[in-house]
Structure 1
């Protein structure tokens, strides 16, 4: 087997701080989690990312791994033929931190197990290991209406669990999720004790669901603000008008279109966007829509408009 460079797996330098390691792990976990990733080898990459995070976030494991990496760099090792030297882990006691779950090396590589599997099994026989379960992360996509008004939905997640035979297997579970009103993209919903089981009587970890909002046929999301195209007639734009506008939470509101309004003019409805403190706004982009000349009356109206607008040249800015 090959020697694994865990720093390269997470994309961090060897001098990376605990916070940098944590941020790199979260970014890659969101990218390769089997519930959201469409990459063919997402599960394998997720395993490597979990494995690297397991080592680099634990001070004892990281120190031992760094010492071993230095020995490998000095002495060299034939490619594909790495074996940890005898006694390499003397003086280190490996454990998992309070936010981690039990060591289940069936889901990790042979390289990891060759280094830390036996060491943690020895540690487990010396003490009654107690550890809170690991937190899990997943992403859910909700509708804009659910984000604004709140809802209760059932979601289905897939994850690796240890079967009765001790081997990892992909299992599916369904959870009921309460979506609070006022959510916006990037926020998390926490489901207490829905992560990995605890060890030694400690509680399970939590499940964090990253909120994503599905594209909407009418509204576009930018941060906490919503944007909508509002069609108006030429007469409404030229003379001004009161028009009814649908709102994202339901119902309508009366909006004043100012006289001499131009195509693309942006009007704001304060506080009608996504929730927050302060809440976002709803922006309406005017789009002047021409009535079709599909009747004699419509054609005569256009002819009268043309006769009254002979001084108007829409191509003047082109030098025409």
Structure 2
């Protein structure tokens, strides 16, 4: 998938106001509208123009796209980074799936779920619109529960039509046992209502911050634990740091790298809780001293061991 430069498609500067974006879109629509255009591949160009306008005319999508797009150029091989839109606050309801059916995979990957209504069918009432944002939390927060101060970025256009971002700071209670993809509802923190009607709600979609120590599947947590060759070969009782605190674990003798030790109920809390799997990683001491090299040389002489023997069978 290639990165799309929507500013290049509309022929406007990245500092363009909403009025300038609107004028550029109208000019290109007159040029490429398939009902009147004689330009080659007019329909294809019109779809590109419509897609670019859908992003750049929307302050919320444009602000998030600007943050992402500063690192890419048109035509560059592209995959959206994980959680690229975390921390941006979007309003709903948004377009239905049919509205962007003619848009590119690039658009669908970025905005397929951004700006859509997620809750209820009554969002068109006079109450304020619900808003939503993705937030990143530490894995430890779901084990113990926590209160965190979170600052969201709220895209908006000023009186001159220039898109900017204001900060929306919240104190959020992270409930114990919350899973990835779950929503925390903050009542009345959405868009203001009309005519004195109540404000909408803000829904925070929870994602766990990237952490090389853990892999998460539902409520199960996988954690790599380094062990010495003698602990793996002879068996040992070791202390393992885990998200819920240190635990004593028995390593069975004859273990190899990749062996999983299941700690039932020590995954993400819930009813029932998940499990924690400690994945053993046998780590060799460095041969960085005469003594260490002597021990390795003795092992080479004394042990009848060929790790590649089965490959030759």
**Scaled by the length of structure 2, what TM-score is found?**
0.59
Counterpart position of 2:271: 277
Cα distance change on mapping 1:264 and 1:168 into 2, 3 Å: closer
1:229 touches 1:287 (CA, 8 Å); kept in 2?
Answer: yes
Counterpart position of 1:257: 251
1:228 partner SS: strand
1:231-242 aligned at under 5 Å gives the runs: 231-242=226-237
| Distance in 2 of aligned mates of 1:138 and 1:241 | 46
- Please report how far the alpha carbon of residue 298 of structure 1 lies from its aligned counterpart in structure 2 after TM superposition: 3.2
Unaligned runs of 5+ in 1: 5-28, 57-96, 102-130
1:185 partner SS: coil
1:319 aligns with 2:309: no
1:287 partner SS: strand
1:187 pairs with 175, 182, 188, which one?
182
- Please report how far the alpha carbon of residue 141 of structure 1 lies from its aligned counterpart in structure 2 after TM superposition: 1.1
Counterpart position of 1:220: 215
| Distance in 2 of aligned mates of 1:215 and 1:153 | 17
Counterpart position of 1:116: none
2:123 pairs with 95, 99, 102, which one?
99
After the TM superposition, which of the residue ranges 150-159 and 262-271 deviates more from structure 2?
A: 150-159
1:292 partner SS: coil
1:164-183 aligned at under 5 Å gives the runs: 171-183=166-178
- Please report how far the alpha carbon of residue 243 of structure 1 lies from its aligned counterpart in structure 2 after TM superposition: 0.8
- Please report how far the alpha carbon of residue 244 of structure 1 lies from its aligned counterpart in structure 2 after TM superposition: 0.8
Counterpart position of 2:261: 267
**Scaled by the length of structure 1, what TM-score is found?**
0.58
Structure with greater Cα Rg: 1
- Please report how far the alpha carbon of residue 192 of structure 1 lies from its aligned counterpart in structure 2 after TM superposition: 0.1
1:129-168 aligned at under 5 Å gives the runs: 131-159=126-154
